[in-house]
Amino acid sequence: MFRVLRAGFPMFKWCMVSLVAAVTAALAVNPAADRAQSLYQETNYAGALQILNGLPQKDAGVYDLTGRCYYMQGDFKKATELFQKAIAGEPRNSMHYLWLGRAYGRRAEIASVLTAPAWASKARQSFEKAVELDPRNLEAIDDLLEYYLEAPGILGGGIDKASRLAERLKTTDPTGYYHAQARIAESRKEYDSAEQHLRHAVEMSPMQVGRVIDLARFLAKLGRYQESDQAFGQAEKIAPDSPKLLFAQAQTYIETGRNLKKAQQLLKRYLQCRLTPDDPSREKAQLLLKKAAS
Protein backbone atom coordinates (compact mmCIF):
# COMPACT_ATOMS: atom_id res chain seq x y z
CA MET A 1 0.00 0.00 0.00
CA PHE A 2 1.52 3.34 0.90
CA ARG A 3 3.15 4.61 4.02
CA VAL A 4 0.87 6.94 5.98
CA LEU A 5 3.39 7.50 8.78
CA ARG A 6 7.14 7.14 8.84
CA ALA A 7 8.55 4.21 10.76
CA GLY A 8 9.52 4.98 14.30
CA PHE A 9 7.37 7.85 14.38
CA PRO A 10 6.28 9.05 13.74
CA MET A 11 8.79 8.80 14.74
CA PHE A 12 9.66 11.97 15.60
CA LYS A 13 10.25 15.71 15.79
CA TRP A 14 6.94 16.03 17.59
CA CYS A 15 6.84 18.92 20.24
CA MET A 16 6.83 16.52 23.17
CA VAL A 17 7.23 19.24 25.78
CA SER A 18 3.87 20.85 24.98
CA LEU A 19 2.24 17.48 24.38
CA VAL A 20 3.27 16.03 27.75
CA ALA A 21 2.37 19.27 29.51
CA ALA A 22 -1.13 19.23 28.02
CA VAL A 23 -1.80 15.62 28.91
CA THR A 24 -0.29 15.96 32.37
CA ALA A 25 -2.45 19.02 33.09
CA ALA A 26 -5.55 17.08 32.11
CA LEU A 27 -4.63 14.19 34.40
CA ALA A 28 -3.07 16.05 37.32
CA VAL A 29 -6.26 16.05 39.38
CA ASN A 30 -6.12 12.25 39.53
CA PRO A 31 -2.96 10.78 41.15
CA ALA A 32 -3.64 7.35 39.65
CA ALA A 33 -3.97 8.78 36.17
CA ASP A 34 -0.85 10.84 36.78
CA ARG A 35 1.03 7.63 37.62
CA ALA A 36 -0.31 6.08 34.42
CA GLN A 37 1.07 9.04 32.48
CA SER A 38 4.51 8.43 34.01
CA LEU A 39 4.37 4.76 33.07
CA TYR A 40 3.38 5.70 29.53
CA GLN A 41 6.43 7.96 29.23
CA GLU A 42 8.55 5.01 30.40
CA THR A 43 6.96 2.89 27.62
CA ASN A 44 5.32 0.67 30.23
CA TYR A 45 2.04 0.61 28.35
CA ALA A 46 0.67 -2.50 30.04
CA GLY A 47 1.25 -0.97 33.47
CA ALA A 48 -0.39 2.28 32.43
CA LEU A 49 -3.41 0.42 31.04
CA GLN A 50 -3.85 -1.55 34.23
CA ILE A 51 -4.31 1.73 36.06
CA LEU A 52 -6.35 3.50 33.40
CA ASN A 53 -8.80 0.67 32.80
CA GLY A 54 -9.45 0.48 36.53
CA LEU A 55 -10.42 4.13 36.94
CA PRO A 56 -14.09 4.46 37.94
CA GLN A 57 -14.46 7.78 36.12
CA LYS A 58 -12.86 8.75 32.81
CA ASP A 59 -12.57 12.12 31.14
CA ALA A 60 -11.19 13.12 27.74
CA GLY A 61 -7.61 13.13 29.02
CA VAL A 62 -7.92 9.60 30.35
CA TYR A 63 -9.49 8.36 27.10
CA ASP A 64 -6.68 10.01 25.14
CA LEU A 65 -3.91 8.46 27.22
CA THR A 66 -5.60 5.06 27.17
CA GLY A 67 -5.89 5.29 23.40
CA ARG A 68 -2.19 6.07 23.09
CA CYS A 69 -1.31 3.03 25.17
CA TYR A 70 -3.38 0.75 22.95
CA TYR A 71 -1.89 2.44 19.88
CA MET A 72 1.62 1.71 21.10
CA GLN A 73 0.63 -1.90 21.71
CA GLY A 74 -0.66 -2.22 18.16
CA ASP A 75 -4.39 -2.37 18.95
CA PHE A 76 -5.36 0.37 16.52
CA LYS A 77 -9.06 -0.45 16.48
CA LYS A 78 -9.34 -0.01 20.24
CA ALA A 79 -7.21 3.12 20.03
CA THR A 80 -9.57 4.57 17.42
CA GLU A 81 -12.58 4.04 19.68
CA LEU A 82 -10.86 5.74 22.60
CA PHE A 83 -9.68 8.76 20.61
CA GLN A 84 -13.24 9.20 19.39
CA LYS A 85 -14.39 9.27 23.02
CA ALA A 86 -11.70 11.83 23.81
CA ILE A 87 -12.95 14.00 20.93
CA ALA A 88 -16.52 13.70 22.17
CA GLY A 89 -15.35 15.17 25.47
CA GLU A 90 -13.04 17.81 23.96
CA PRO A 91 -14.13 18.44 20.37
CA ARG A 92 -11.75 21.39 19.92
CA ASN A 93 -8.61 19.52 20.96
CA SER A 94 -6.20 19.30 18.03
CA MET A 95 -4.10 16.55 19.58
CA HIS A 96 -7.05 14.19 19.91
CA TYR A 97 -7.64 14.47 16.15
CA LEU A 98 -3.93 14.00 15.45
CA TRP A 99 -3.83 10.71 17.34
CA LEU A 100 -7.11 9.60 15.79
CA GLY A 101 -5.52 10.21 12.39
CA ARG A 102 -2.50 8.15 13.35
CA ALA A 103 -4.70 5.27 14.45
CA TYR A 104 -6.67 5.39 11.20
CA GLY A 105 -3.39 5.56 9.29
CA ARG A 106 -2.06 2.43 10.91
CA ARG A 107 -5.34 0.64 10.25
CA ALA A 108 -4.96 1.59 6.59
CA GLU A 109 -1.45 0.14 6.51
CA ILE A 110 -2.56 -3.27 7.74
CA ALA A 111 -6.00 -3.41 6.09
CA SER A 112 -7.03 -5.25 2.96
CA VAL A 113 -6.97 -3.58 -0.44
CA LEU A 114 -10.72 -3.13 -0.21
CA THR A 115 -10.85 -1.41 3.20
CA ALA A 116 -7.54 0.43 3.31
CA PRO A 117 -8.67 3.43 1.22
CA ALA A 118 -11.51 4.25 3.61
CA TRP A 119 -9.20 4.20 6.64
CA ALA A 120 -6.62 6.28 4.78
CA SER A 121 -9.20 8.92 3.92
CA LYS A 122 -10.28 9.07 7.54
CA ALA A 123 -6.64 9.55 8.54
CA ARG A 124 -6.31 12.48 6.16
CA GLN A 125 -9.54 14.07 7.38
CA SER A 126 -8.39 13.75 10.99
CA PHE A 127 -4.97 15.28 10.26
CA GLU A 128 -6.61 18.13 8.37
CA LYS A 129 -8.99 18.74 11.28
CA ALA A 130 -6.06 18.78 13.71
CA VAL A 131 -4.31 21.45 11.62
CA GLU A 132 -7.54 23.42 11.25
CA LEU A 133 -8.06 23.48 15.03
CA ASP A 134 -4.46 24.44 15.74
CA PRO A 135 -2.49 25.83 12.78
CA ARG A 136 0.64 25.83 14.97
CA ASN A 137 0.45 22.11 15.78
CA LEU A 138 3.75 21.11 14.19
CA GLU A 139 3.15 17.41 14.73
CA ALA A 140 -0.15 17.57 12.88
CA ILE A 141 1.42 19.55 10.03
CA ASP A 142 4.23 17.02 9.79
CA ASP A 143 1.92 14.01 9.67
CA LEU A 144 -0.41 15.68 7.18
CA LEU A 145 2.57 16.61 5.01
CA GLU A 146 3.71 13.00 5.08
CA TYR A 147 0.24 11.85 4.07
CA TYR A 148 0.09 14.25 1.13
CA LEU A 149 3.48 13.03 -0.09
CA GLU A 150 2.76 9.32 0.32
CA ALA A 151 -0.91 8.95 -0.62
CA PRO A 152 -2.14 8.86 -4.22
CA GLY A 153 -4.30 11.66 -5.53
CA ILE A 154 -7.46 9.57 -5.43
CA LEU A 155 -7.08 9.43 -1.63
CA GLY A 156 -6.39 13.13 -1.25
CA GLY A 157 -2.63 13.08 -1.56
CA GLY A 158 -0.52 15.28 -3.79
CA ILE A 159 2.76 17.16 -3.91
CA ASP A 160 1.00 20.45 -4.59
CA LYS A 161 -0.97 20.06 -1.38
CA ALA A 162 2.24 19.28 0.47
CA SER A 163 3.88 22.40 -0.95
CA ARG A 164 1.05 24.63 0.19
CA LEU A 165 1.07 23.08 3.64
CA ALA A 166 4.83 23.50 3.98
CA GLU A 167 4.46 27.25 3.57
CA ARG A 168 2.79 27.32 7.00
CA LEU A 169 6.17 26.47 8.53
CA LYS A 170 8.03 29.39 6.98
CA THR A 171 7.53 31.68 9.97
CA THR A 172 6.53 29.27 12.75
CA ASP A 173 9.31 26.69 12.23
CA PRO A 174 11.96 27.83 9.68
CA THR A 175 14.14 24.76 10.24
CA GLY A 176 11.15 22.49 9.79
CA TYR A 177 10.27 24.44 6.65
CA TYR A 178 13.59 23.54 5.02
CA HIS A 179 13.17 19.93 6.06
CA ALA A 180 9.69 19.86 4.56
CA GLN A 181 11.02 21.37 1.33
CA ALA A 182 13.67 18.65 1.25
CA ARG A 183 11.02 15.95 1.52
CA ILE A 184 9.01 17.57 -1.26
CA ALA A 185 12.07 17.87 -3.50
CA GLU A 186 12.98 14.24 -2.85
CA SER A 187 9.45 13.19 -3.83
CA ARG A 188 10.02 15.01 -7.11
CA LYS A 189 13.40 13.26 -7.48
CA GLU A 190 15.12 16.64 -7.29
CA TYR A 191 17.94 15.29 -5.17
CA ASP A 192 20.31 18.24 -5.45
CA SER A 193 17.59 20.56 -4.22
CA ALA A 194 16.67 18.17 -1.43
CA GLU A 195 20.26 18.07 -0.25
CA GLN A 196 20.51 21.86 -0.25
CA HIS A 197 17.38 22.15 1.87
CA LEU A 198 18.65 19.56 4.34
CA ARG A 199 21.96 21.39 4.65
CA HIS A 200 20.10 24.65 5.22
CA ALA A 201 18.17 22.97 8.03
CA VAL A 202 21.42 21.84 9.64
CA GLU A 203 22.95 25.31 9.28
CA MET A 204 19.94 26.92 10.93
CA SER A 205 19.87 24.47 13.84
CA PRO A 206 23.37 22.96 14.09
CA MET A 207 22.72 21.50 17.55
CA GLN A 208 19.53 19.67 16.55
CA VAL A 209 20.79 16.13 16.20
CA GLY A 210 17.68 15.08 14.29
CA ARG A 211 18.47 17.43 11.41
CA VAL A 212 22.00 16.03 11.09
CA ILE A 213 20.61 12.50 11.14
CA ASP A 214 18.19 13.41 8.35
CA LEU A 215 21.12 14.57 6.22
CA ALA A 216 23.17 11.46 7.01
CA ARG A 217 20.35 9.10 6.07
CA PHE A 218 19.65 11.01 2.88
CA LEU A 219 23.29 10.83 1.77
CA ALA A 220 23.34 7.09 2.48
CA LYS A 221 20.28 6.59 0.25
CA LEU A 222 22.24 8.24 -2.56
CA GLY A 223 25.15 5.86 -1.99
CA ARG A 224 27.41 8.62 -0.67
CA TYR A 225 28.51 6.56 2.29
CA GLN A 226 31.63 8.46 3.27
CA GLU A 227 29.72 11.73 3.49
CA SER A 228 26.92 9.97 5.35
CA ASP A 229 29.37 8.60 7.91
CA GLN A 230 30.85 12.07 8.34
CA ALA A 231 27.39 13.44 9.07
CA PHE A 232 26.76 10.67 11.59
CA GLY A 233 30.09 11.58 13.18
CA GLN A 234 28.90 15.17 13.47
CA ALA A 235 25.72 13.93 15.13
CA GLU A 236 27.75 11.88 17.60
CA LYS A 237 29.59 15.01 18.72
CA ILE A 238 26.26 16.72 19.40
CA ALA A 239 24.53 13.87 21.25
CA PRO A 240 26.70 10.75 21.54
CA ASP A 241 24.19 8.82 23.65
CA SER A 242 21.04 9.84 21.79
CA PRO A 243 18.78 6.80 21.32
CA LYS A 244 17.51 8.36 18.11
CA LEU A 245 21.06 8.52 16.75
CA LEU A 246 21.96 4.99 17.82
CA PHE A 247 18.89 3.54 16.12
CA ALA A 248 19.11 5.64 12.95
CA GLN A 249 22.78 4.89 12.39
CA ALA A 250 22.28 1.16 12.93
CA GLN A 251 19.24 1.11 10.66
CA THR A 252 21.13 2.97 7.94
CA TYR A 253 24.03 0.51 8.07
CA ILE A 254 21.65 -2.45 7.84
CA GLU A 255 19.66 -0.93 4.99
CA THR A 256 22.86 -0.33 3.02
CA GLY A 257 24.37 -3.71 3.93
CA ARG A 258 27.55 -2.45 5.54
CA ASN A 259 29.17 -2.07 8.97
CA LEU A 260 26.87 -4.77 10.28
CA LYS A 261 28.99 -5.50 13.36
CA LYS A 262 28.90 -1.86 14.32
CA ALA A 263 25.16 -1.85 13.69
CA GLN A 264 24.80 -4.69 16.18
CA GLN A 265 26.83 -2.79 18.76
CA LEU A 266 24.71 0.31 18.28
CA LEU A 267 21.47 -1.64 18.67
CA LYS A 268 22.70 -3.35 21.82
CA ARG A 269 23.46 0.08 23.25
CA TYR A 270 20.03 1.25 22.12
CA LEU A 271 18.31 -1.59 23.96
CA GLN A 272 20.02 -0.46 27.16
CA CYS A 273 18.71 3.09 26.81
CA ARG A 274 15.80 4.57 28.67
CA LEU A 275 13.30 4.98 25.85
CA THR A 276 10.23 7.16 25.45
CA PRO A 277 7.13 6.74 23.26
CA ASP A 278 8.88 8.88 20.63
CA ASP A 279 11.61 6.27 20.16
CA PRO A 280 11.34 3.15 17.99
CA SER A 281 10.17 0.21 20.06
CA ARG A 282 12.53 -2.32 21.61
CA GLU A 283 10.77 -4.97 19.53
CA LYS A 284 11.72 -3.15 16.33
CA ALA A 285 15.32 -2.81 17.52
CA GLN A 286 15.45 -6.53 18.33
CA LEU A 287 14.20 -7.39 14.84
CA LEU A 288 16.90 -5.19 13.31
CA LEU A 289 19.49 -6.82 15.55
CA LYS A 290 18.48 -10.26 14.28
CA LYS A 291 18.66 -9.02 10.71
CA ALA A 292 22.15 -7.61 11.24
CA ALA A 293 23.32 -10.90 12.75
CA SER A 294 21.87 -13.14 10.02
Q: What is the mean pLDDT of residues 34-47?
A: 97
Separation CA 173–CA 14 (nearest Å): 12
Fold of 1-166: 1.25.40
Q: pTM of the full predicted structure?
A: 0.88
Please determine whether the domains at 1-166 and 173-236 fall in the same fold group of CATH. Answer: yes
- Residue-wise pLDDT for 247-289, tens only, equals 999 999 999 999 999 999 999 999 999 999 999 999 999 999 9
Domain parsing of the chain, residue ranges: 1-166, 173-236, 241-294
pLDDT > 70? residue 6: no
The residues, any chain, with a CB within 8 Å of residue 112's CB and separated by 6 or more, are: none
pLDDT > 50? residue 235: yes
pLDDT > 60? residue 27: no
Fold of 173-236: 1.25.40
Residue 54 CA neighbour count, 13 Å, CB half? 10
